[in-house]
Structure 1
Amino acid sequence: MNRNLYVLALGVFGITTTEFGVIGVLPELASSFRISIEKAGWLLSAFALIVAVFGPFMLLVLSSFKRKNLLILSLSVFVAANILSAFITNFYLLLGIRMMPAFFHPVYWSIALSVAGQTSDPAQKSRAVSIIFSGLTSATVLGVPLAAFMSDLFSWQSSFLLTAFINGIALAGVWFYLPSLQNTGISLNKFPTRIFLNKNLWNGLFLAFFTIAAMYSSYGYMADFLKNVTKMDGKQISMMLFLFGTAGIAGNKIAGKYMSRFPFQTTLLFLILLSGIHLLMGHYGSDFAPAILITGCWGLVHSGGFLISNINVTSSASETSEFINSIFTSCGNFAVTAGTLFGGVWIVHYGIENIMWSGIPGLVPALIMLLFRKNSFKVNMTEIT
């Protein structure tokens, strides 16, 4: 079972590198296409917006297809889109090509998370989910910094070809090693409308939205901040992205370990620490040495955000896990879109040197939603983890 989870995590690594790999090359893309950095940010936010809008519907429309075939199809689209992106000379055409795999992103994520939840013992669910999320963390460790390094060493086009190769490896892994998966999704005829009457679910979704939006309002422009404020060159930025992701491996494991035992305390501590990191980076980000230390701490804390948010959402309802995970994936990517756009607006008004303060307006309402949710954590967590 662990082998299957790691194969699925490899696919998550590929599709996440596609989505977030542009973070490390946004300055080069903005320069190449002669556009502003906030406009280049649409390459991230538009991708996430497609996932947010079409996530649950794609899963419902494709519910009759075999799950393994859907995983293979999804990764094939990611490979093709990345290859095409490397040969585009028009920004808007590149933006359109980037949107193609976004439709299949939530399909892969939902199936992978569902397999993790359904095939593990209840007491091990957080650990199984953390294995899937290790693909996301690994993308920040290797995928994003490698994309930035390739762009600095060769060109931004090479970063897309690298991402295509990563997805190709993931495709081969899923094709050859993953067994057939049982269909457990909801058909269009059995759309669970009652789920949207669940107050705990809405609370969990709003908590996830504000948390992830706050994370990506600053993280989405991390490379540009390090370049223009900390005055790092391309290789140094790649190393910082690598440090960020490496620290995130430990952060993801810690979050997975403690969310099953102390969900409220873990979420509360995460929000407090992330707020502190933003404040410290905003104050000391222009100083080279402190910025390195804070970047490592930032990665350690940041990486647990998606895992914590996912467990808070999926523990709120008992409906089929694939559909709940598709809702979470949509919520998370809508939050990435909102956070990235908000960060871009913040840069226009206050400058890139103040981008770290943009996360605070999201973290405050997230903390309020968590306090409203406190009573629901009294439910026996053994049933949901």
Structure 2
Amino acid sequence: MTKQLFPLALGGLGIGTTEFAIMGLLPDVSSSLDVSIPVAGHLISAYAFGVVVGAPILVALSAKFPPKNILIIFMLMFTVFNALSIIAPDYNTLLVSRFLSGLPHGAFFGVATIVASRLAKKGKEAQAIASIFTGLTLAILLMVPLVTFIGHHLNWRYAFGVVSLLGLLTILFLYIWLPSMKPLRSVSFKEELEFFKTIKAWHILTIVAIGFAGLFAWFSYIAPLLINIAGFDIEVVSYLMIVAGAGMVVGNIIGGYLADKRDPVIVSIFLLFLMVISLLLVFFFSESKIVSVILTFVCSALALSFGSPINMIMLKSAKHSEMLAAAFIQAGFNVANSLGALLGGIPLLYGLSFNYPALVGAGMALFGAVLCLIFYRKYER
């Protein structure tokens, strides 16, 4: 990773930390603000809703400005809104601050994706994009366990203090190391929207929303799966999440490499079919602790390896609409997050065991792979 790309990865680290740390802090937040854990869980949904709303709107408002300035403004918004969470006096204020914190998420990654691809050497674009998501994976591996520990033992508000500090550091390094570039938009916003009037655009986004949701159907219920099916003690689960984070780091690197060497559509088909197999193995063999640890790493790696290829598919398809397309991809990932958790939880409502969400996830990943095959036959071959 070059120093020019480092600020983009650092921004990904901060964004990943604030997105995922709240999941481990829900008991602390609910106790502090005197709400139930299910109600506190709406803080996760509020952030995801902010991502979906903010991505297209902020890109539309800012694309005519130099990307360096845009990214600094997005990260300033991110820092201020996360700082509001530190001082939020009640649940409703925190809910609003979480929604506001999500607004710059997709827009930042959308602009950063295009900037990274243009700063990369020819033939290394996917690996440059993967470097941005290295920050996101390192957040899951290192920062989320750290701020969760801080939140448990000191105060959950300190976790958002750490996130705000990461935002300030990102602003500093963006200013120092990111080179000045011309505005990224080459056409009007109306012309940019033309791509999203095509079936091809929504075909790609559907692959993301359904195929990637297979991961979240499994990952949303990984803690009770490991405790109730594999038989791990609750204290061990936090260490197993580090295994998942390590898998994501490795998968992100592999996905970027493969997407530069092979057709990203073929890579995506291959990875989604591997995800189907791995999630089926989770369903059938999670009672073994050793197998559960291995599959936690493998499933996490396969999930994040999908990020760079699907981004490259979108960027190659969306000529003159790349930045808006990259932002929509981030919105698609958050739709997948919500959809996977929703559908993965349905078997549990009927009293089935905690390995059934993985079976739902395998079905969704299979659907995503079939959609990829159709895309290849229709547009690539």
Above 0.5 in TM-score? yes
Q: Which amino acid aligns with 1:207?
A: I
Q: Tell me, yes or no, if structure 1 residue 171 matches structure 2 residue 206.
A: no
- The answer to which of 22-31 and 193-202 deviates more is 22-31
Whether the aligned pair in 1 keeps the contact of 2:50 and 2:101 (CA below 8 Å) is no
Q: Which amino acid aligns with 1:373?
A: F
2:368 alignment counterpart: 366
Q: Which amino acid aligns with 2:7?
A: V
Q: Which amino acid aligns with 1:136?
A: L
Q: Tell me, yes or no, if structure 1 residue 320 matches structure 2 residue 355.
A: no
1:336 alignment counterpart: 337
Counterparts in 2 of 1:230-269, with a 5 A limit? Answer: 230=230, 232=232, 236-260=236-260, 261-269=262-270
Whether the aligned pair in 2 keeps the contact of 1:63 and 1:187 (CA below 8 Å) is no
1:38–1:221 distance in 2 versus 1, CA, 3 Å: farther
3-state secondary structure, aligned to 2:180: coil
Q: Which amino acid aligns with 2:373?
A: L
2:358 to 356, 359, 364: 356
- The answer to which of 226-235 and 322-331 deviates more is 226-235
CA distance in 1, matches of 2:14, 2:300: 19
Q: Which amino acid aligns with 2:117?
A: G
1:308 alignment counterpart: 309
* Percent of residue pairs bearing the same amino acid type: 25
TM-score of the aligned structures, taking structure 1 as reference length: 0.86
- The answer to which of 205-214 and 326-335 deviates more is 326-335
Residue deviations 1:136-169, cap 9 Å, x none?
Answer: 2222222222233333443433333332233332
1:349–1:186 distance in 2 versus 1, CA, 3 Å: farther
1:382 alignment counterpart: none
1:161 alignment counterpart: 161
Aligned residues: 379
1:108–1:29 distance in 2 versus 1, CA, 3 Å: same
1:334–1:91 distance in 2 versus 1, CA, 3 Å: same
CA distance in 2, matches of 1:77, 1:162: 16
Q: Tell me, yes or no, if structure 1 residue 222 matches structure 2 residue 219.
A: no
3-state secondary structure, aligned to 1:279: helix
Q: Which amino acid aligns with 1:309?
A: I
1:345–1:33 distance in 2 versus 1, CA, 3 Å: farther
1:346–1:82 distance in 2 versus 1, CA, 3 Å: farther
CA distance in 1, matches of 2:124, 2:223: 36
How many angstroms does 1:348 deviate by? 3.9
How many angstroms does 1:79 deviate by? 2.4
Asked which structure has the greater RCO (Cα within 8 Å, sep 6+), the reply is: 1
Whether the aligned pair in 2 keeps the contact of 1:24 and 1:238 (CA below 8 Å) is no
1:277 alignment counterpart: 278
Residue deviations 1:181-206, cap 9 Å, x none?
Answer: 32113676544343134333222221
Whether the aligned pair in 2 keeps the contact of 1:47 and 1:98 (CA below 8 Å) is yes
How many angstroms does 1:33 deviate by? 5.5
1:52 alignment counterpart: 52
Whether the aligned pair in 1 keeps the contact of 2:211 and 2:366 (CA below 8 Å) is no
Runs of 4+ in structure 1 off by over 6 angstroms are none
CA distance in 1, matches of 2:37, 2:295: 24
Whether the aligned pair in 2 keeps the contact of 1:23 and 1:223 (CA below 8 Å) is no
TM-score of the aligned structures, taking structure 2 as reference length: 0.87
1:377–1:188 distance in 2 versus 1, CA, 3 Å: closer
CA distance in 1, matches of 2:30, 2:227: 13
Unaligned 5+ segments in structure 2 are none
CA distance in 2, matches of 1:344, 1:95: 23
Unaligned 5+ segments in structure 1 are 380-385
